[in-house]
Amino acid sequence: MKLLRSRALVLLLLPLMVLLLALSSNAAVAGPRPGASASPVRSSSLGSHPATFAGPAATGCASRCHLLSGPFFSPSTATSSTMAGSAAPSRTLPSGQMPRAVPLMRALRRGSSRPVIPTVSCQPMSAGCDSISMSAGRATGVKGLDAVDSAEMRTNVLHTDVEPPDQGLCVGDGYVVETNNIGEILVFNKALQRRSAVIPLDTVMGLTKRGWSSGGDPSCLFDYSNGGHWFFTEIVSSTPEAKGGPFAGCFAAKADSCYEGIAVTTGKSPFGPYHVYFLNANYNPAEPGYPYLLNDFAKIGTSRDAFLLFYDEFPLSSKAPGLGGGFFNGAQEMAFNKTAMERGLAVTRAGRPNPQFTVARENMGLLPTPDGTCFRDDKYHEPGVTCWYSVIPAQAPDPTQYDNSRGGSAFMLGTLDYYGLGDNRLAVWDWTGLKALDSDGCSACRAIRFSGQLFSGVERYYGEGFLAAQKAGPIPLGNECGKAGLSTGKPPVAHCPEGGLATNGDNFTEVSQAQGDLWGGVSTEIDQTYASSPSSPEVHQGVAYWVVGTRSFDRSGRFSLASQGYVTAAHEELEFPVMAAEGGRADGGNGHALMAFTLSGNGGPGAADNGGFYPSTAYGTLTATSGRLLGSVVHIVDLGQSPQDGFTEYLGYPGPTRPRWGDYGAATFVPWSGGRIYFANEYIPYRTCVPPQFKLVVGTCNGTRDGFANWGTSVNYAVP
């Protein structure tokens, strides 16, 4: 759940958040160097399972269930949102998410167990340590949405600032669309010239007229099938914005109030009109945690046959705990009949479930893991620990990259760091037989299977919410944190120090499918070693990534590990990686891929890079077999201008603080575009002012920031 500051400066938090924070301060020991894992990579089966349910999407289970409703028609937003002119303005138009679902019991670290942190050599430089270039390379970027846009959005009735600015990005038919918390989109053309003002997802989904509200965690994609359609998703609460929105409903554990909104354009314009569907998180009265279940962090994808949607399921009330009495029910995977959604078919017909609108659903909370089950882990015998989590569907950029083997396939990746001590395992999951979704009433859906494969001995990862450093600079909000009501004490602390950026956990936030491979990376702590101080490695935030081959799956039903590696910036930090790969030469690609992230840092012990970097948008390029960034170079495309100076940097100081940053970015390849990969990340776009220009109001510092937040986003493309 996001953190949000109301106009009365009231911060509403889920009690669940406390359970999600990692509480250990155990020391770490060095792990294997890249390319020299402690043991060879091995693979094993995770089993093949029938779908938990396959049948009408209106139900979602055998009886007494109501999973999906709609469509509800929402008119085009083009007339109200189109802006004059073609050039991107120099700033946006005038006018908190909880950690991604990490296993709840990571706080159970006990005894002498210590995380094992991977190590790379930066002196001499080896694979996994990368230099930083101030050149943007072959990239172009513009300013996207920022804190002022979010605060001034007309549907943001009671609240102003929201952190973090989670991003989605989708591209197609000559348009580029950025999505952002708390629920807004911005439309560009393919040259990144603005084609709209800020459009609330409340408007796109028709929430205002229903008396409902946006809950954020947006995702979007463009699907070329059936003439071309855009999909927009976000958490939705059945409570009105004027009465607190999701913070008085879904996030406050109000019964039967959590939904996932799914808006599908009727044609290929991102402005709509739209057919809107609502997935009810509390669709099944028999589900543990009902009716207080949250659909957290939905990510989406498509295959030839299916619209894929994943979310992690959290019971929010102690009155109704989840599986085994815990407070996490695991990953929920759904594959809807894509053609039915793109045709705008009704979920019900004549009061009965429409047999042409089908779904396959897998409740991964019921599947065993290598370390136990969601009901009881093998180590501490607790519920909610060893649950499959954040098993993200892969998104292909166009129909030529779909995998149509085995009756229509779709793929997912997941990590397995259940105890927050690091891990060296990777799970790959597949749907097969998805063409059966087109059968009337799902009559052929017995052919649908959900299967998995485990890779053990892969490059180790460990990422537990490490606070990544940033360059020192002006923090006018921090200097007035007491006056702003953010600090504690008697009297409250008047001035708060600059903080870092929260990097959450080591789970996937996006997976790309292209070239017969799956591409994904996760955050990890990495020890950088230097010859000048061999016994004192620098601990930084970096990336572990994997390229998983699917061609072998087509032939034999087993995946292969094509490549793996680490990416770190020497002396600095990388946050929230996303990856996208080009297609083949037939659709304009050359087989390269791009990894994008936020770069920050303070230069390490020697204050390298003139004291480091303010949060900036950066990227590198690689191939399916390179095992590292090409040239070992990280390019900065949008240079940060100030430190992050938002309210979550200081809230509760001098106690522990959790300075929120963008929980995810996005990247996607666009076929027939000359090889462009578009990507979006967070950075700090403007130099901040100080009093008397700085004030605790919306649009301070000449409208370049808010008094309580200064985040911004960038939208970019590069030809890797």
pLDDT value at residue 18: 31
Q: Is 1's pLDDT higher than 80?
A: no
My answer on whether omega of the bond before 40 falls inside 30° of 0, hence cis, is no
Tell me how far the alpha carbon of residue 676 is from its chain's centroid.
Answer: 22
Per-residue tokens: 352: 């009965």
Structure tokens at 694: 């700085």
How do residues 514-525 score in pLDDT, each as one tens digit? Answer: 999 999 999 999
Mean pLDDT computed over 114-127: 93
The predicted pLDDT at position 674 comes to 86
CA neighbor of 314 nearest in space, from 335, 338, 298, 337 = 298
Under a CB-based contact definition with an 8 Å cutoff, are residues 502 and 659 in contact?
A: yes
For the CA atoms of 675, 227, 171, 567, the dihedral, rounded to the nearest 10 degrees, stands at -60
**Domain encompassing residue 630:** 3-718
Is it the case that residue 37 has pLDDT exceeding 60?
Answer: no
pLDDT > 70 in the chain, percent: 89
Q: What is the mean pLDDT of the segment spanning 383-411? A: 96
Lowest mean pLDDT among 93-107, 377-391, 486-500, 688-702: 93-107
Residue-level pLDDT at 3: 56
Q: Which residue has the higher pLDDT, 3 or 493?
A: 493
Alpha-carbon separation of residue 118 from 38, 424, 460 (angstroms): 11, 10, 6
609: alpha, beta or left? (left if phi > 0; alpha if psi -120 to 50): left
Both structure tokens of 10: 């009231």
Total domains in the chain come to: 1
The pLDDT value given to residue 585: 61
Residue 23's pLDDT is 26
Nearest CA among 23, 84, 32, 12 for reference residue 464: 23
Prior bond to 321 cis, omega within 30? no
pLDDT in tens, 283-342: 999 999 999 999 999 999 999 999 999 999 999 999 999 999 999 999 999 999 999 999
Residue 252 clears pLDDT 90, i.e. is over it: yes
pLDDT tens across 55-113, in order?
999 999 999 999 999 999 999 998 755 443 333 332 222 223 332 333 334 444 444 46
Counted residue by residue, the chain has a size of 720
- Strand runs labelled E in 584-705: 593-601, 613-622, 633-638, 666-669, 677-683
Look at residue 155 in the predicted model and tell me its pLDDT.
Answer: 86
Higher pLDDT, residue 98 or 529: 529
Distance CA 293, CA 288 (A): 9
Residue 689 or residue 4, greater confidence: 689
Mean pLDDT, residues 362-375:
98
Q: Which of the four pLDDT bands, split at 50, 70 and 90, describes residue 535?
A: confident
Mean pLDDT of the chain: 90
| pLDDT tens figures, 155-210 | 887 667 889 999 999 999 999 999 998 899 999 999 999 999 999 999 999 999 99
